[in-house]
Structure 1
């Protein structure tokens, strides 16, 4: 074996071990090279003494030997239950319980060791964790290959340096893609690595979509054209607008354009200059074209063609075989990330459908105008636990609820549905003060073993003895409602808030009362509307009051839309729910 077999620590391989530990959240990670009678760890983090310093063990303490023997990954959730390794001395001496190891290869393609993650307790490995481990193992193998080639041929120093650069490119891309979730984030990671590591002028992704009405005016190669279309993915936080990409945001999968042709052929398509491309497709030449050399790489996953990666350089360029191999590897990494991004996007769309299905249809009493809006988080691209509701009681009293369950995932959305349903049922069945029904809800959460915390405002729109409208409410740790008078003046229904739901079910809860004049608007909202990172909450409340005062003369629905626009709710870092009630004129 010509790769390193030293027992000394290696800074580069230690970095791979640290990346595995961070990505898979395990206590121990290793770069292990297996020899005839021992395994050595040029990269190691988290090993117990003395192994962290000696950097080697006999094969009696090795799981990685099976990765080399099988030339395949070894994934074990609990080694004590797995016959092949249950007697391995790594279990008692090194604390190995769960193990996930991926083959790493040298410059000849020989499996020489394993990049592995180790846990000291049972660990059911998720697919996204194994995907990250596989990507990092590929990058680690590239570095091993680089070292082998450098040792094998000192005369090939320049080639070895190029290989190191390509290895850094793939490592940077692998690390960047490991943090992505959405397709826009994948496109941004590809763009960043291409511009910073490959000296590209532009880089972008066009992804496959079925044909729709938007393709009707696209260029076509003739009657035999494919009915498929590729669409440009705008990167998240794009550094600058790529005008030519915007002009050709949708392209057919055929030979009418280089993006579609590369995918049709399933092979890279390279042009050393823009002139060479335009000689082939003169109809695509335009004043927005930038750069010279351009490479079109098909994105393929398990023989399924999903899109094209486009790289553009500022100057004319020639590509060698080694360069092309690196770019093919880049395309493979990007394709895997696209698949994961689409799965994530499908999941979020399903969650948003669930969230929308759980939001109620508001009643419209004769003397009240109700409207509500919900906006999911822009940064997390996830649904959460924000909700609202309104119920007209049998006696004609209207009950209003708005709340925020702690969390931003499907569990929070599910708890939100439970809370809304329980409180709606309590409001309908028990004619009591808001504080009484919220206390019942809090006790029900404990008795029904619903593990959740939430803030809540529950209000009843009543009439006093003189027939005037009165708001009676209780507040469980939620931002205060806002009243906007017909003349634009504002006031907060603050009072002293009680504890959140789910903290102390027996805690006392109080009610507050306030008259409301005809023509006024009552606004309930969740904290995502007013909270901004690094800003005092009162600043957000002042901004909300000013916006509400400007738009109070508008119908309730339009009023909410204007307020959400003013407070930039579309880009809020948290979910936003708002509920407005306009009181009719006498």
Structure 2
């Protein structure tokens, strides 16, 4: 026998002194009362207060059966609730509840059938019940109330103050009224189940929308710090009052911390909390280690004392208390590639909010996984970008130092692509003393475009070096080489030869579908060297390309550039070239490096690569 009851003290009102009574509930009885399926039905009916329908049924019992007490009782594993009653004394008439030790109806639940007892004092199951003295309950008749699954959730009962032989008609009437009561119970349970399903569907839809928005937001940036800030804004708006995200790009690295509160007025406090938390590594390590140790999200219904105890920094603890400490969850940030914990997301609700649910814990775990994917994507992106930068530096020429010629160049990758692209510049001296300069643009701004650009630049160098041919002839030969070697290039380019002449300098150039060169004269005037357009490089060979020759005075500056500097989808290319020419005229007094910076500011958008080469003729 398992003793699960407890002594119950009950101050009687109007009938005598306090009653102290032990009741022993056996294992079998307890297993029936604690059946989770049955308890779910009882709890769906709610903790009863005054209920007109059930009170009416209790009144019918009193009138039709002629019993002083009529009760609709619902029995859970610990108490009996008086869903309907008539004739009950205080405090039970108001409280609508009594301890399980005082319940006769629990025996109906256990037996699963109607019980008719002329005198409970003679029944071995009931003779020690405190209600005998407290309620003057002597005779008892109870019919089971069932849920939609046929499980007994309580009893409709009649109680008399003296021994009574219940008649067959009274028993039949009580049974019929219990069936009516069961119908009402089934209807209410069905309504509650439908409401639970509706809430679950809304919750699932809300959680799915949260995760969808989070995924889209994290995928829209490769900046991991910005990704974690976005995570905080989304989560605190829809799941928690505030959160702290701590993560490290690599295991053992210094942690990055961000903190967000759903109240925008607390932004300064949250920033301070994040700064303190980043320095107070011991506090953070405790949270991260808990996530790592469990390997899953951890939910605490009332974690204020535990969480506050982990915060050794006084100011940090004060900020956390001010933000509100109630229930909390910690979800690990796990790398999906390396399967290591990189950090944790701490979600906190204030004390006035309900505890986090099991469903929200699953959502928190998914948030941690998606945060881990964002951290990993950012790391891989940085690695790719580093490789691309190394590749780009290897492909772009280190500008030579030449007598009488000052060279300055810049390369900027597109902001929405890799760190490399198909834009390039080059300059090298010829054995005859002339200087070859070039700027070109292979379609695309990715690794493949950069690789093609490398081949094209090397072909230009190999074909031009040591030859006295004019740029037009060199580009014609380049067309044939690209076609014959099957190099998959579609590119624009300007190739120019700069040599000294009787008037200063002669610049001969050929243009394969490229924006026109600009020339800044010593007096500040700017020339735009428009010539009739010729096809792009890489197309099937056609007629020989032309060479244009311009004579310029010393002190002039030749500007070669790619279309990323002047192209705007909302304007004509001519407008962009004119804008660049005006900036060049305004900036004529600036030295080479500063002039490059000012010209780059003209770019309308950074959605394409930019290569810029300045050739200042100083000799």
TM-score by length of 2: 0.59
CA shift at 1:320, angstroms? 2.3
Aligned to 2:614: 580
Q: Does 1:331 align with 2:368?
A: yes
CA distance in 2, matches of 1:391, 1:153: 81
CA distance in 2, matches of 1:510, 1:326: 67
Go from structure 1 to structure 2 and tell me whether the alpha carbon gap of 1:197 and 1:286 turns closer, same or farther (over 3 Å shift). Answer: closer
CA distance in 2, matches of 1:364, 1:324: 65
Aligned to 1:43: none
Aligned to 2:497: 460
Q: Please show how residues 409-488 of structure 1 align to structure 2 within 5 Å.
A: 409-464=446-501, 466-488=502-524
CA distance in 2, matches of 1:510, 1:241: 68
Aligned to 2:416: 379
CA shift at 1:522, angstroms? 1.0
Go from structure 1 to structure 2 and tell me whether the alpha carbon gap of 1:230 and 1:467 turns closer, same or farther (over 3 Å shift). Answer: same
CA distance in 2, matches of 1:393, 1:255: 61
CA distance in 1, matches of 2:569, 2:348: 37
Aligned to 2:194: 154
Q: Does 1:283 align with 2:315?
A: yes
Q: Please show how residues 163-242 of structure 1 align to structure 2 within 5 Å.
A: 163-177=204-218, 183=224, 186-187=227-228, 190=231, 193-194=234-235, 197-198=238-239, 206-209=247-250, 228-232=253-257
Go from structure 1 to structure 2 and tell me whether the alpha carbon gap of 1:360 and 1:266 turns closer, same or farther (over 3 Å shift). Answer: same
| Alignment equivalent of 1:261, drawn from 251, 272, 286 | 286
Q: Deviations over 1:551-578 (max 9, x none)?
A: 32233223212322x3368x61111111
Aligned to 2:539: 503
Aligned to 2:358: 321
Q: Is the 8 A contact 2:518 2:528 kept in 1?
A: yes
**What secondary structure does 1:456 align onto?**
strand
CA distance in 2, matches of 1:234, 1:483: 53
**What secondary structure does 1:479 align onto?**
coil
Q: Deviations over 1:227-265 (max 9, x none)?
A: 631125899xxx99965676646965975344x432232
CA shift at 1:460, angstroms? 0.7
Q: Is the 8 A contact 2:249 2:375 kept in 1?
A: no
Go from structure 1 to structure 2 and tell me whether the alpha carbon gap of 1:385 and 1:180 turns closer, same or farther (over 3 Å shift). Answer: same
Q: Is the 8 A contact 2:435 2:497 kept in 1?
A: yes
Count of residues in Structure 1 that have an aligned counterpart in Structure 2: 413
| Alignment equivalent of 1:540, drawn from 569, 572, 576 | 576
CA shift at 1:319, angstroms? 2.0
Q: Is the 8 A contact 2:490 2:536 kept in 1?
A: yes
Q: Is the 8 A contact 2:472 2:547 kept in 1?
A: yes
Aligned to 1:216: none
**What secondary structure does 1:470 align onto?**
strand
Q: Is the 8 A contact 1:194 1:203 kept in 2?
A: no
**What secondary structure does 2:474 align onto?**
helix
Go from structure 1 to structure 2 and tell me whether the alpha carbon gap of 1:181 and 1:505 turns closer, same or farther (over 3 Å shift). Answer: farther
Q: Does 1:307 align with 2:340?
A: no
CA distance in 1, matches of 2:612, 2:228: 33
CA shift at 1:509, angstroms? 1.4
CA shift at 1:441, angstroms? 0.9
Go from structure 1 to structure 2 and tell me whether the alpha carbon gap of 1:442 and 1:307 turns closer, same or farther (over 3 Å shift). Answer: farther
CA distance in 1, matches of 2:597, 2:320: 37
Q: RMSD over aligned Cα, in angstroms?
A: 3.9
Go from structure 1 to structure 2 and tell me whether the alpha carbon gap of 1:367 and 1:403 turns closer, same or farther (over 3 Å shift). Answer: same
CA distance in 1, matches of 2:398, 2:275: 38
**What secondary structure does 2:417 align onto?**
coil
Q: Deviations over 1:94-114 (max 9, x none)?
A: xxxxxxxxxxxxxxxxxxxxx
CA shift at 1:432, angstroms? 0.3
CA shift at 1:393, angstroms? 0.3
Q: Is the 8 A contact 2:464 2:474 kept in 1?
A: yes
Q: Is the 8 A contact 1:184 1:234 kept in 2?
A: no
Q: Which runs of 5+ in 2 are unaligned?
A: 1-189
CA shift at 1:209, angstroms? 4.6
CA distance in 2, matches of 1:151, 1:344: 52
Q: Is the 8 A contact 1:291 1:315 kept in 2?
A: no
